[in-house]
Structure 1
Amino acid sequence: MTSSDVLDDSVAAVKAEILALEDKRYDAVVDGDFDTFASLCHPDLTYSHSDGSRDTIESYLRKCRDEFYVYHRIDHPVSDVLVHGDVAIVVGEMNGEITANGTPIELANNCIAVWVRHDGAWKLLAYQPTPRR
């Protein structure tokens, strides 16, 4: 086994871990499990929305817990996971049905999620969706 093979194996392991974390974070918001969602986030999280607004971890969680955002369904196909050291960038889509401030919305977004290794664990640092319509 060469050093390149070891590197390929470690990148593959990180990609698998990040994909599992992506599933976990989307499942958490659909299930209303905001404590789990919070545990996956970096304290400096910047969470952007498809309408151009942005939240911190605190403001986003407050809106979710107050049911400003209610997630009914999300699917999130991934095109790629780019791993560079302690940074992983997920490139894909986020499609779903939500209620935002009482208004039903159907989402069809391309998105990028940035994960960083923080205190020995992968944490979501930034999320940016872009509407496909």
Structure 2
Amino acid sequence: MTGATMTAASIETAIRGLEDRRYAAVLTGEFDRFAALAHPDLVYTHSNAEVDTRDSYLDKLRTGHYRYHRIDHPVTRVVVAADTAIVVGEMHAEITAGGVRKTLANRVLAVWVYENDEWLLLAFQPTVIPAGERR
């Protein structure tokens, strides 16, 4: 089955599950599991505007630069166009980044592509939610 032959509903279900798995992987320190979900050309942007590749993000995870303590990631919408799925939602997290404990409240956009019979995370982009709009 290719991405083009799956229904939008089945793709949305699959993508929601993959989002759960990728967040769980970084939360539990299963970084190889995250790597298996990430496209080799991953563009991972952070809320402070830093940009990582798959390899540089994994290196930061493995060395403890980023440590996730809690992550909530409600998905608002999954948009499917051919072999691409766009996830629109939020990410609320407690992390330590570079030795500094932080609370994150972001709106997020994640891009998944169907390639070689699997969905892979190609891009992630968070935007800080203004303080007055946070839940």
TM-score, normalization: structure 1?
0.93
Match of 2:105 among 95, 103, 108: 108
Letter in 1 for 2:15: I
Identify which of 111, 117, 120 aligns with 2:117: 120
Match of 2:80 among 80, 83, 94: 83
SS at match of 2:7: helix
Partner of 1:66: 63
The CA distance in 2 between the partners of 1:48 and 1:58, in whole Å, is 13
Q: Provide the rounded CA distance (Å) in 2 between the counterparts of 1:118 and 1:130.
A: 27
Over aligned residue pairs, what C-alpha RMSD do you find?
Answer: 1.1
In terms of mean alpha carbon deviation, does 9-18 or 49-58 score higher? Answer: 9-18
Name the structure 2 match of 1:23: 20
Displacement, 1:118?
Answer: 1.2
4+ long deviations beyond 6 Å: none
Counterparts of residues 38-77 of structure 1 (less than 5 Å): 38-77=35-74
> Can you give the 5+ residue segments of structure 2 that lack an aligned partner in the other structure?
131-135
Question: Does the 8 Å contact 1:42/1:118 carry over to 2?
Answer: no
In the TM superposition, what are the counterparts of 1:89-100 in structure 2 within 5 Å?
Answer: 89-100=86-97
Give the equivalent residue in structure 2 for 1:3. none
Runs of 5+ consecutive residues of structure 1 not aligned to the other structure: 1-6
- Letter of the aligned partner of 1:14 in structure 2? I
Give distance in 1, aligned partners of 2:55 and 2:18.
20
The TM-score normalised by the length of structure 2 is: 0.91
Counterpart among 115, 127, 132 of residue 129 in structure 2: 132
Query: CA-to-partner distance for each residue in 1:27-72, whole Å, 9 max, x for gaps?
Result: 0000000000000000000000000000000000000000000000
The one-letter code matched in structure 1 to 2:48 is: D
Q: Amino acid of the residue matched to residue 37 of structure 1?
A: F
Contact map agreement 1:88 1:115 (CA 8 A) in 2: yes
